[in-house]
Structure 1
Amino acid sequence: MSNSYYQNKNILITGGAQGIGLGMAQAFARAGARVIVTDADAEAGQEALQWLQEQKLAADFIRCDVSSEPEVKDLMRQVGEKHGQLDALLNNAGIADPFQGALQQLDMAAFDKVMAVNLRGPMLCAKYALPLLKKAQQPAILNISSTRAFMSEPDTFAYSASKGGLEALTHSLAVSLSEERVRVNAIAPGWIEVRDWKKESEKQVPHHRQQDKEQHPVGRVGEPQDIAEAALFLCSDKAGFITGQSLTIDGGMTVKMIYA
């Protein structure tokens, strides 16, 4: 991706302080964008901001819980006051632990929290970012979904449902915002290793078994950079004829037949 397109573009990344979000923040900033990282974890956010600034990259951090309508409204107010417009919104924030136990013991408060962050959050962010996106020449929204929107392990009700809803929200927004010239797409990551992309107090050195690698036709587990490269493309003018679509990035894992 050429650096020229993202020069002086304003990119807002929710959940941008760790994992895939941090990988995208680094990639967009290196491509010349002004990156606004938002995250509910202030400690992680400050660490991400410090790293970006030490690399002489243009970045801000604003703490926000995307499940809270007042906080999202205030987030967009601050972005508007400082930057004037948004060129892209990357809805990445989410509660990532998919397992919640058996159906009979399911904690509905925990279920509701996952839905609030993973699905209501992107809806709120799209709603309140729209006035800022409309000021840009080629605005885009990118939702980070999951291959769990299409397939499941046992006892992953809330996570799978929220990501399935996000896939539907993607094409609904794409059609609804077409007259506003806002393109809306999604990326559905598979197994992306993020243990070494956590804040310092939680960072771990990842280890993968050979069978973990062999589940993927490409021969390895994914990395945040794999998602970031696709995000750079989908939010750019090179993807100007793409909207309402979902790109699965999983090293081929979901197309490989596995016999137990």
Structure 2
Amino acid sequence: MATADYKDKVVLITGGAQGIGLGMAQAFGQAGAQIVLADADEEAGGEALARLQNLQLQATFIPCDVSAETDVVALIEKVKDAYGRLDVLVNNAGIADPFAGKLDEMPLSEFDRTLAVNLRGPMLCAKYALPLLRKAPHPAMLNITSTRAFMSEPDTFAYSASKGGLEALTHALAVSLAPDRIRVNAIAPGWIETGPWQKESERYEPQHTREDKAQHPVGRVGEPQDIAEAALFLCSEKAGFITGQHLVVDGGMTVKMIYT
């Protein structure tokens, strides 16, 4: 999976302690990067750090709620103090399983909290990481959105809105930060199975039916490694002519027509 593109580079991954974030952290680490995991779940963060260190990868963990400005300021200050640089920012932290109920039953607090983490968080991280990214020779920012930015299941108002907003924030940042040579792109994952990449208390063995797999033209459900491969490319110098774009990584699920 890994290449040598990230030797000695510093990569900050929010929501990096579990699931897709942890998969990306491992991949960037295997590519030579020094990884900073930021996550609000300290139990998961400790386990993730041990996992990466057991693989002889360079990593640190910093607790952080990305929706809290003070937390984000402290996070970037700690990165600056520890490394003095930042080459790649991956905005992955998000509430993946928010309230899913009827519109007239949804508490406003649930909507606000989801947007605070999934959309306000990436904005805050981008804002406060900017001075460090400006100093990097080939800086890159990556936002992890979702295919739910383009299509919806019923009663997923907050999640879909937050990911749609993050798609728009991606191209706004790409245009705005172009004078600073900072490329900004997004990956929109589809169904990614993260069971084996959770903390121990929530880990499970995936069980996928034939129908689950058949929904995907490639014939299987996605894995964190699939997103990691795309992330390694988009944040590398090999993607130097790509900015303001989103890459859908979903096994073809969103282009398959389904009739009922």
Q: Look up the match of 2:156.
A: 156
Shift of 1:3: 3.0
State the one-letter code of the partner of 1:145.
T
Q: Which residue of structure 2 lines up, in the alignment, with residue 94 of structure 1?
A: 94
Aligned residue runs from structure 1 range 59-70, under 5 A: 59-70=59-70
Counting aligned pairs with the same residue, the percent is 70
When the two structures are aligned, how many residues end up with a matched partner?
A: 260
Structure 2 letter corresponding to 1:220: R
Q: TM-score, normalised by structure 2?
A: 0.99
- SS of equivalent to 2:13: strand
Q: Which residue of 2 aligns with 1:195?
A: 195
1:128 CA displacement: 0.3
CA contact (8 A) 2:98 2:114 kept: no
User: Given that residues 98 and 110 in structure 2 are in contact (C-alpha distance below 8 angstroms), is that contact kept between their aligned partners in structure 1?
Assistant: no
Match of 2:183 in 1: 183
The answer for the alignment partner of 1:46 in structure 2 is 46
Q: Does 1:250 align with 2:229?
A: no
Unaligned runs of 5+ in 1: none
Deviation, structure 1 residue 55: 1.2
Give the Å deviation of 1:15.
0.1
1:249: Cα distance to partner?
Answer: 0.4
Residue 211 of structure 1 aligns with which residue? Answer: 211
Distance 2:62 2:248 in 1: 29
Distance apart, 1:195 and its partner CA:
1.6
Matches of 2:164 and 2:196, distance apart in 1: 27
Shift >6 Å, 4+ stretches? none
Letter in 2 for 1:23: G
Does the Cα contact within 8 Å between 1:218 and 1:251 map onto a contact in 2? yes
Query: Partner residue of 1:130?
Result: 130
Give yes or no for contact 1:98–1:160 (8 Å, CA) kept in 2.
Answer: no
| Partners of 1:150 and 1:98 in 2: CA distance | 18
Q: 1:4 & 1:225 partners in 2: Cα distance? A: 17
Q: Secondary structure at the match of 1:134?
A: helix
Q: Which residue does 2:223 correspond to in 1?
A: 223
SS of the equivalent of 2:188 reads strand
- With normalisation by structure 1, the TM-score equals 0.99
Name the residue aligned to 1:19.
Answer: 19
8 Å contact kept, 1:36–1:59? yes
What is the rounded CA distance, in whole Å, between the counterparts of 2:153 and 2:259 in structure 1? 15
